[in-house]
Chains A and B, each alone.
Chain A
């Protein structure tokens, strides 16, 4: 674009719409202070934090904290726990809302459909604290529902939350319970948008219901599936801290300590700011790289992308 035209347009817009610029100012300040300023503060990862000198006055130490993290044996445990939990979440949590939506789409009784949607959507509104409380009450070692039932049928009680091997199953199952109905909404909307003539054609060709799902429904919602998949894969490293932290205890720590919870305990509880910032930065960067890679791949393969 020509330079003068650019400047003129800007000036004209400022003059005519100064009120709009004034409106945008407070929200912009919010983003600069609470989002971009912390990004700049992340240089802390390359420094040794000194309370008196502050972030910018602290001495540079290069990659010291990153090296310390990579050489620490906990690095592999954290990476493995983070990736495994995310992977399980993706493998089990991603297809279920799609199946739920496809099944709901077949239901002809509008009332039943509405009721199932209403009920399955509801757990989404339960807070993380309450969700974890429910899990703990159900799985409590002695009085919990699960163990009362186990004992009723003559089995030995299990300390579910104390078993590192159970942690991922508990996390993923409760996550599906809480979010599948919510996640299905997007697919249901996509299904409603499929061209009705395709169904007519399928019917004329004598397609069974299952064939119709495979050849009309699935291709119809494929773009939506791709986008949600990109978003999910992109979030693999930004695993929700909140629920994991609440579910953690000293017994299940071998499989429940992930990067986010480690940053919290090292950084805020032990006040090891620089090291924790380095660990967090490592996480953010991997996450960004992952998101960009997946998005580029999806763009190449199917022409669907989030930007």
Chain B
């Protein structure tokens, strides 16, 4: 067995060159770790430091004069809270719609007896290679009367072709044709088979689809930018853009704290980044494997 022979062999002393090589690899990877972690830690530390410590550049790594003023302001600002609520809605509604439509398309495409599946598959994948472009798509959405409505963020980009491809190859590799045939002999309909046999067997892929669509919806801003006009429909990302990137903190500030307004505006940016990203980053370590799985299922058969 490979395992029993590999163990003693590994004990053969490595040459000096190899050890130096390994040292270099560990050193480089440690630098990579620092380069990725440092900005993240810096932002979290700044977000819980005092406003004056942030603006005077006293924060280097750890928080200085710990305070939660930034977060307090965020939770008292209606504009941000509305954005948060909207984003939660877009994320949950969008994910349900997208996952349902993706499975409705991917499952029949995985069945060998489904006549015309290669034609449909081509029709679907071609949209990855070519598109009508921004303006023609915008005009279609406008024609459908979706401009400035919540539906504009849920429907026009509901199905990602990539997700259809990975779901289809998952179904193809996990649902054996014999199972389908057996169910047909027992008089089980296609819907019932999908609902009570395929879906229970496909929990991993459903998890992948749910997570990818959910994160995608939470992070998206472009559709909201072009299709929405009223502030009350804005998702969190657009609110962030207005406050951090366009520097519009006027509406956010409580007039009573005008004195420290500039300092507070700076601090608020860090706190906002944390508030907007934390939900995703907290669940991420637990769901990372699903994302990896999703990428790999898709790469098996593209």
List residues of A whose CB falls within 8 A of some B CB: 9-10, 12-14, 16-17, 19-21, 23-24, 26-28, 30-31, 33-42, 44, 55, 100, 103-104, 106-107, 112, 115-116, 118-123, 125-130, 132-134, 136-138, 143, 145, 148, 177, 181, 185-186, 189, 196, 203, 208-210, 224, 227, 234, 241-242, 246, 260, 263-264, 267-268, 273, 276-277, 280-281, 283-284, 287-288, 291, 306
For the complex, is B277 an interface residue (Cβ under 8 Å from A)? yes
Query: What 15 new A-B contacts, CB under 8 Å, besides A41-B137, A277-B135?
Result: A13-B115, A16-B113, A20-B107, A21-B108, A24-B104, A26-B101, A44-B139, A103-B28, A120-B36, A127-B221, A128-B219, A128-B221, A133-B240, A137-B269, A263-B135
- Evaluate contact between B32 and A208: CB separation under 8 angstroms: no
With A39-B136, A273-B135: A291-B129 Cβ-Cβ less than 8 Å: yes
Interface residues of B in 183-206 (CB under 8 A from A): 189-191, 194
How near does chain B come to A55, taking the closest CB pair, in angstroms? 7
> Whose C-beta in chain A lies nearest to the C-beta of B28?
A103
User: Contact flags (1/0) for B58-95 with A, using CB distance below 8 Å?
Assistant: 00000000000000000000000000000000000000
- Evaluate contact between B105 and A24: CB separation under 8 angstroms: yes
Q: Give CA–CA (A264, B26) in the complex, Å.
A: 45
- Evaluate contact between B285 and A118: CB separation under 8 angstroms: yes
* Contact for B302 among A26, A104, A306, CB less than 8 A: A306
Output the residue of B108, B134, B241, B284 with the most chain A CB within 10 A.
B134
- Evaluate contact between B156 and A34: CB separation under 8 angstroms: yes
Chain A residues with CB under 8 A of B266: 143
Q: Give CA–CA (A205, B33) in the complex, Å.
A: 34
With A23-B108, A267-B134: A189-B245 Cβ-Cβ less than 8 Å: no
User: Contact flags (1/0) for B255-277 with A, using CB distance below 8 Å?
Assistant: 00000000000100110110011
Chain A residues with CB under 8 A of B277: 125-127, 130
* Contact for B111 among A9, A17, A185, A288, CB less than 8 A: A17
How near does chain A come to B42, taking the closest CB pair, in angstroms? 7
Q: Give CA–CA (A264, B144) in the complex, Å.
A: 20
How near does chain A come to B126, taking the closest CB pair, in angstroms? 9
- Evaluate contact between B105 and A28: CB separation under 8 angstroms: yes
For the complex, is B175 an interface residue (Cβ under 8 Å from A)? no
- Evaluate contact between B120 and A41: CB separation under 8 angstroms: no
- Evaluate contact between A138 and B218: CB separation under 8 angstroms: no
- Evaluate contact between A196 and B2: CB separation under 8 angstroms: yes
Q: Give CA–CA (A287, B129) in the complex, Å.
A: 8
Q: Give CA–CA (A78, B215) in the complex, Å.
A: 32
- Evaluate contact between A280 and B284: CB separation under 8 angstroms: no
Q: Give CA–CA (A263, B136) in the complex, Å.
A: 11
User: Contact flags (1/0) for B27-40 with A, using CB distance below 8 Å?
Assistant: 01100110111011
With A126-B277, A133-B273, A134-B273: A38-B131 Cβ-Cβ less than 8 Å: yes
How near does chain A come to B292, taking the closest CB pair, in angstroms? 5
How near does chain B come to A31, taking the closest CB pair, in angstroms? 6
